């Protein structure tokens, strides 16, 4: 009678190592699942020749203190019993240099050369990666070893938008003088977006709609006049790890019509007035500073900001987010030019300013 498929004897396998390149592109609104690097029972070595000792092979890292290529034991731990290993691996974001460790999950599974101890050649129970411990069954000792390795989805959730790189190196050894049999290299290239979190962030304000005064002051010297200035910190988050080649931003006031007003002027209005008389309007300018260069904004006009992918960054925690991200500082200056005080109606002035940020749709 032929053996059932699930119980077929493993094919003799010599350890050969190899390189695996994991490329992943996703948005945080639709998170991927576990990334399987080795499916369970991936055969690393198997042979009936007891001298090869494939039934007690194990995996080690290059460092037990540095996660740059994986952090785990560098020698046989001889750990007995069942268990799984968690190997921290350092992921680096290309644009910002931000570093975060993600834990790979892995385990070993021993293989017998006989079905005498059950319907399958594979022994029950997971073994940690770094131990040569092998448990016999009756007179049979394991003749081979399989491995399983994955990057859990719960670990991927720790990464914010950006381009992330990482390398994991595992060395396969036998318990015979810690002989190195093979090296497995896993290279990660993750491109992550977070388009639902595109934000215009004002670090001085917690609320989404800040209330900003223009600091208008009355100067009685000479001809009495009014003037004011307010510097406002602003940071742009593109949801792409600040890797957009450019962004577009517009500034628009949403007050009453102001016939004849220059395009680079914005206005606040006397709260007690009803019409659009110029005496009830106080004009101001908006200047945005990008990459050290001042840009005089025009009312309602889209202004391109180039070089976002090479601009200075600022680490912030945006409202509604638990993880820090990098945004591009673009401070604003709101300035009321000096005006004759007698030309304006006395009272409280107010108005709304709307800032819109556009992100290139073709950017990954």
Task: Give yes or no for residue 134 having a pLDDT over 80.
Answer: yes
Where residue 42 sits, what CATH number does that domain have? 2.60.40.2520
Determine the Cα–Cα distance for residues 32 and 362; give it in Å rounded to an integer: 21
Answer whether residue 259 is part of any domain. yes
290: domain CATH number?
2.60.40.2040
Same domain membership, residue 200 and residue 347: yes
pTM attached to this predicted model: 0.87
Could you tell me the pLDDT band of residue 179, with boundaries at 50, 70 and 90?
A: confident
Is the per-residue pLDDT at 149 higher than 80? yes
What whole-number distance in Å separates Cα of residue 159 and Cα of residue 29? Answer: 13
pLDDT for 187-240, tens place per residue? Answer: 999 999 999 999 999 998 876 678 899 999 999 998 999 999 999 999 999 999
Range of the domain at 184: 16-193
Residue of 276 and 176 predicted with greater confidence = 276
Number of domains in the chain: 2
Q: Which residues contact 32 (CB under 8 A, 6 or more apart)?
A: 24, 26, 153, 156
Q: With bands split at pLDDT 50, 70 and 90, how would you rate the model's confidence at 44?
A: very high
- pLDDT mean over 174-199: 91
Burial zone of 351 (CB within 10 Å; 0-12 exposed, 13-18 middle, 19+ buried) = middle
Q: Which residue has the higher pLDDT, 138 or 64?
A: 64
The last residue of a domain, from among 176, 193, 210: 193
DSSP type of residue 3: P
Do 176 and 294 share a domain, yes or no? Answer: no
Per-residue pLDDT tens digits for 66-75: 999 999 999 9
Residue 60: predicted pLDDT = 97
């Amino acid at each position: 009678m032929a053996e059932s498929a699930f119980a077929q004897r493993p094919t003799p396998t010599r350890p050969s190592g190899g390189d695996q390149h994991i490329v992943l592109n996703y948005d945080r609104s639709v998170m991927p699942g576990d990334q399987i690097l080795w499916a369970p029972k991936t055969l690393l070595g198997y042979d009936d020749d007891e001298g090869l000792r494939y039934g007690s092979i194990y995996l080690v890292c290059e460092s037990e203190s540095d996660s740059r290529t994986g952090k785990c034991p560098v020698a046989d731990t001889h750990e007995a019993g069942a268990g799984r290993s968690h190997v921290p691996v350092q992921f680096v974001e290309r644009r910002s240099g931000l570093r975060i460790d993600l834990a790979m999950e892995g385990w070993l599974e021993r293989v017998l050369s006989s079905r005498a101890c059950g319907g399958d050649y594979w022994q029950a129970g997971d073994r940690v990666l770094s131990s040569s411990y092998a448990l016999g069954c009756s007179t049979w000792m394991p003749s081979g070893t399989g491995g399983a390795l994955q990057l859990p989805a719960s670990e991927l959730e720790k990464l914010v938008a950006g381009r992330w790189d990482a390398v994991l190196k595992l060395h396969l050894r036998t318990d015979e003088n810690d002989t190195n049999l093979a090296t497995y290299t896993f290279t990660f290239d993750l491109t992550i977006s977070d388009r639902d979190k595109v934000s215009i962030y004002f670090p001085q304000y917690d609320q989404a709609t800040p209330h900003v005064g223009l600091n208008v002051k009355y100067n009685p010297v000479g001809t009495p006049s009014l003037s004011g200035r307010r510097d406002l910190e602003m940071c742009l988050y593109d949801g792409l790890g600040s890797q957009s080649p450019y962004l577009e931003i517009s500034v628009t006031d949403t007050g009453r019509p102001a016939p004849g007003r220059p395009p680079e002027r914005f206005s606040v209005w006397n709260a007690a007035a009803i019409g659009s008389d110029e005496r009830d309007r106080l004009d101001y300018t908006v200047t945005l500073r990008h990459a050290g260069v001042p840009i005089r904004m025009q009312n309602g006009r889209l202004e391109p900001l180039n070089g976002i992918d090479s601009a200075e960054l600022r680490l912030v925690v945006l409202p509604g987010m638990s993880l820090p991200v990098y945004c591009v500082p673009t401070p604003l200056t709101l300035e009321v030019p000096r005006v004759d005080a007698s030309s304006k109606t006395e009272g409280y002035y107010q108005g709304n300013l709307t800032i819109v940020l556009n992100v290139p749709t073709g950017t990954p």
